Amino acid sequence: MRTRVNDYNNPMPSRVRSQRVEAIVLRHVDWGEADRLLWLFTRQLGKIQVVAKGVRKPRSRKAGHLEPFTRVELLLAHGRDLPIVTQAEAKDAYLALREDLVRMGYASYVIELLDRFTYEEGENVALFRLLAETLSRLNDETQPAFAVRYYEVRLLDLVGFRPQLLHCVNCGEEIKAEDQYFSFDKGGVICPKCGLKEPGVRPVSLPALKILRHFQRSAYAEAQRARLSATVDLELENLMGYYLTYLLERGLNTPSFLRRVRNLTTSEE
């Protein structure tokens, strides 16, 4: 009996003999004697799993190009179960992420979130770009936390969990310029009037809400005009951390197309 890696549709149909892809290495595990299984997020095929043969041999030329966080250009060949890496050339190793523990921690968090919020479901160029740009920002910028807070907001958007920040998710009233509450369950801001009666909501300060709204509507260059104080950064780190964990525990076994269908129907009401 032949062993299959998992029940998974090969992203390269057998009529495609080989394909060039641009990818970011999410993670890998050792496989067999000298091989590795890699999870990649590619520009062309979205998230895929591939095999890199022989990369654990000391003289492997591909090995150094296939470390986690690396942006790499690959040639993939059709394999029986999974595509096989036949060529690999690192385009960006993001060296600062490997030399600085704080940056490495942020990069691991960014990669893990993307990995856990996505399925092997085909091309998603917007997500690929967000990931590649966020790793570059973490690598280059003096305030890596800023890039991560921005990433959280944009990621929620792209995986179908864009929080409602303009109207109370309970009564529908427009949100006013004052401290508010946030409901994980209802996916957005709750006004102070409703918040007092709603169990399980978390407070969100006006300055933190302003940042969230600004990030939600702005490209990065525009987003950078905002100043993120240490206090607001900490508040958002906690709020988004809890919210993302909540979503992951609750919803991620649901196929994402179902989430999207649900979002479509609620936004049409």
Q: Could you list the residues that contact Zn ion (CB under 5 A)? A: 168, 170-171, 191, 194
The interaxial angle of helices 125-140 and 101-117, nearest 10 deg, is 170
In whole angstroms, the minimum distance from the beta carbon of 132 to Zn ion comes to 39
In whole angstroms, the minimum distance from the beta carbon of 85 to Zn ion comes to 53
In whole angstroms, the minimum distance from the beta carbon of 190 to Zn ion comes to 6
Phi/psi for 30 (5° steps) reads -70, 150
For the record, the structure tokens of 30 come out as: 């050792």
In whole angstroms, the minimum distance from the beta carbon of 239 to Zn ion comes to 18
Nearer to Zn ion, 166 or 264 (CB): 166
In angstroms, the Cα distances linking 16 to 50, 109, 246, 269 are: 15, 34, 40, 43
For the record, the structure tokens of 138 come out as: 């973490």
Nearer to Zn ion, 118 or 180 (CB): 180
Nearer to Zn ion, 189 or 212 (CB): 189
Nearer to Zn ion, 23 or 194 (CB): 194
Is-contact 51 35, C-beta < 8 A? yes
For 68, the 3-state DSSP assignment is coil
In whole angstroms, the minimum distance from the beta carbon of 166 to Zn ion comes to 12
In whole angstroms, the minimum distance from the beta carbon of 185 to Zn ion comes to 14
Nearer to Zn ion, 70 or 164 (CB): 164
> What type of residue is 68?
P
Spell out the residues 6+ positions from residue 159 whose beta carbon is closer than 8 angstroms to its own: 117, 118, 127, 256, 259
For 85, the 3-state DSSP assignment is strand
Is-contact 36 60, C-beta < 8 A? no
Considering only CA atoms, give the Rg of the chain.
Answer: 21
In angstroms, the Cα distances linking 14 to 78, 80, 168 are: 6, 9, 50
Nearer to Zn ion, 85 or 189 (CB): 189
